[in-house]
Amino acid sequence: MIPLQEWGGGVTFSVKVHPRAKKNAITGELGDALKLSLTTPPVEGRANEACIEFFARLLKVPRSSVTIASGQTSRNKVIRVAGVTGQYVRDRLSE
């Protein structure tokens, strides 16, 4: 399981994004990051929006709770999810 950093109001974790995949899915782990395949291309922030939407649905939180803390223009991103605990994220990722 990847490391999760808990802060006062939520959790952050690392993601390695692979755009232009066949489907949106978590395909494994790469070091300390989740491997996330997205169907959208990395053009005009569409892959970032797809990444936020994917984690909002997976974790069953509002889109406004999910942000990209760093890596806006990189495949390596840090995702911040407000209003959840590390255990909740672990449980949702392991389903």
pTM exceeds 0.85: yes
Under DSSP, is residue 88 helix (H, G, I), strand (E, B) or coil?
helix
Nearest 5°: phi and psi at 88? -60, -45
What are the pLDDT digits (tens) for 69-95? 999 999 999 999 999 999 999 999 988
Q: Name the token pair of 42.
A: 């990395």
What are the pLDDT digits (tens) for 3-14? 999 988 899 999
Domains and CATH numbers, the chain: 5-93 (3.30.1200.10)
Dihedral angle, C-alpha 39, 41, 46, 52, nearest 10 °: 40
